[in-house]
Amino acid sequence: MTEASGPAVANGGSTAQAPMAPVMHRVVRRHQDLEDTVSLWLEPVDQPLPRPMAGQFMMLWAFGIGEAPISLAGNEDGLLVHTIRSVGAVTEALCSAAEGSEIGVRGPFGTGWGLAEAEGQPVVIVAGGLGLAPVRPIVTEILSSRGRFEEVTLLVGARSPETLLYEDELAQWRRQGSIDVGVTVDSATPSWRGHVGVVTSLIEHTPAATGTRAFVCGPEVMMRFTARALIDRGLDPDAIAVSLERNMHCAIGHCGHCQLGPAFVCKDGPVLAWSRVEPLLKVRER
């Protein structure tokens, strides 16, 4: 991957003054998306942090418990939006944060999706499960300036209808009609009327034109199969951006927790071109 062809690179965390110092934010809105998943809208108590780009992540700090890297799911009127699944101590504390309570935030960190490079081109966005959260800012940005892109397709997969994230918003995007939205579940319930199958089964029906850019986020195995399916449709591996997850601590390239071969996922990623990621995934994680 060349810098020119790969995802946009941020300055590795534009909080140069004090990248390790959390900045207090107030929870101004909390929405229970799924049984184990919550979205929080955060407003700075005092000084705002630099505005994050789509694809970047913030370190969210639950007092007395710890920090977790969480992707940007939206930036609405100066509020950071994060969608968090409760899987352990930190994410459980963040999901339990009440409206009016305060949490610490560091960032923004990492690389962005590089959406500007897709201008004038067809776009395919593929999300699996909670992977819809980090690609949500791509969709909202495209919808706010639809004319900048050619045909846009969003493909979403979930394990079951009950685990489908942002269901109302997906329906709204579909009704709006300016992008194609495909949704599938691995296993259906009796009331499900939509497509059943893994998300890659939707790719077969996607028009693939020269110059198509793809943005993919989900479990690693899903991203691997999706990248292969997109390459089979004729996409260039350099034009497929994926977002990686690794355990993190410092988020600024110092501690080595997130190292994947020669790359630090916190600094060189999390968004990387598939051409660069594929060989790295063959390297055992430290």
Residues binding ligand FES (CB under 6 A): 248-251, 253-258, 264, 266
The residue range among 81-89, 114-122, 206-214, 232-240 that interacts with ligand FAD, by the rule CB under 6 A, is 81-89
By CB under 6 A, tell whether 133 contacts ligand FAD.
yes
- Inter-CA distances, 190 with 29, 162, 184, 197, 201, Å: 33, 12, 14, 15, 21
Name the residue number minimizing CB distance to ligand FAD.
88
Nearer to ligand FES among residue 184 and residue 243 (C-beta)? 243
Nearer to ligand FAD among residue 91 and residue 226 (C-beta)? 91
* Closest distance of CB 106 from ligand FAD, Å: 13
For ligand FAD, the binding residue among 19, 22, 69, 112 (CB under 6 A) is: 69
For ligand FAD, the binding residue among 54, 84, 142, 223 (CB under 6 A) is: 84
Give the x-and-dash track for 144-183 against ligand FAD (CB under 6 A). Answer: ----------------------------------------
For ligand FAD, the binding residue among 42, 53, 70, 239 (CB under 6 A) is: 70
Residue 57 interacts, among ligand FAD, ligand FES, none and using kind-specific CB cut-offs from 5 to 8 Å, with ligand FAD
Nearer to ligand FAD among residue 148 and residue 257 (C-beta)? 257
By CB under 6 A, tell whether 267 contacts ligand FAD.
no
* Closest distance of CB 248 from ligand FAD, Å: 5
Nearer to ligand FAD among residue 105 and residue 235 (C-beta)? 105
Give the number of other Cβ atoms within 10 Å of residue 178's Cβ.
11
DSSP assignment of the chain, as one string? --TTTS-----S-S--S-TTS-EEEEEEEEEEEETTEEEEEEEESSSPPPPPPTT-EEEEEETTTEEEEEE--EEETTEEEEEEE--SHHHHHHHHPPTT-EEEEEEEES----GGGGTTS-EEEEEEGGGHHHHHHHHHHHHHTGGGSS-EEEEEEESSGGG-TTHHHHHHHHHH-SSEEEEEESS--TT--SEES-THHHHTTS---TT-EEEEES-HHHHHHHHHHHHHTT--GGGEEEE-----SSSSSSS-TTEETTEETTTT-SEEEHHHHHHHHTSPP-
Nearer to ligand FAD among residue 224 and residue 246 (C-beta)? 246
Binding site for ligand FAD (CB under 6 A): 57, 68-71, 83-85, 87-91, 130, 133-134, 245-248, 270
